[in-house]
Structures are given as C-alpha cells and as structure tokens.
Amino acid sequence: MGAIESSTGRPLTEPSYEHMQYVGLLVGRAAASIANLLDLRLIVCGGRVAREYASTMFLAAQAELDSSCRLAFSRGTVIVSAKAPQPSGIVGAAAVGWRGLGEGV
C-alpha cells in the first residue's frame, strides 16, 4: 500500500475531490518555492499522481502558484502536466546522473 492509499484509505485511482485539491495545494506550494528560488517561469509536473489527479490538482496548484509567486521574476509562473511517456522522467534523471559521473549519454 502506498502513502496516499494509507493516508486516505482509498486507492490512488479513486481519490476524493478534497484530497486532489489538497495535493494540488502542496504541489503548488512546493513549485512556488522552487520558482521563487531559481527564477523559473514554467514548472512541468509528471508522474502517476499528476495523471490520476489531473485538472483538479493542477487548478489548485496553479492557484497556489499565483498566490505565492509574488516576486517580480516569479510572478506569472505556470505549472503544466508533462506530455512525455511515463518512463521519461527517470530516463532524464538517469542521464543527468550519468553526466555527473563524467559518462557520455
């Protein structure tokens, strides 16, 4: 059983509307912290939770971004769903790690 299933008592594929909004709030808050720190204008979020919670999560995340990104360079930051196939995130992370070890990719 995963963390979401154990905390909500429901399968990941059957979340409550309130839980999807709460997850969106937390994702938006984390994304805003990153945008405010690193001067990002676009946050791309992928993975199973992003796919399962879809627009409800992203609307809540965007609302939190709009509320929390108040610096001149972070105002207007947008969060979107990743469009790449599922394993692309781990492949990209592996490529970054491989390059960090001095290996060609």
Tokens for 50, please give them.
């992003």
- Domain borders along the chain are 3-100
Q: What is the CATH number of domain 3-100?
A: 3.30.420.40
How high is the pLDDT of residue 50? 85
Query: Chain-wide mean pLDDT for the chain?
Result: 86
- pLDDT tens for each residue of 65-92: 999 999 999 999 999 988 866 666 677 7
What are the distances in angstroms from CA 45 to CA 1, 8, 84? 23, 22, 11
Residue 43, pLDDT > 60, answer yes
What is the residue whose two structure tokens read 């790449």?
84
Among residues of the chain, what percentage have pLDDT more than 90? 47
- What was the pLDDT predicted at 85? 66
Category of 19 on φ-ψ map: left (φ > 0), alpha (ψ -120 to 50) or beta = alpha
Identify which of 32, 38, 23, 33 has the alpha carbon closest to the alpha carbon of residue 64: 32
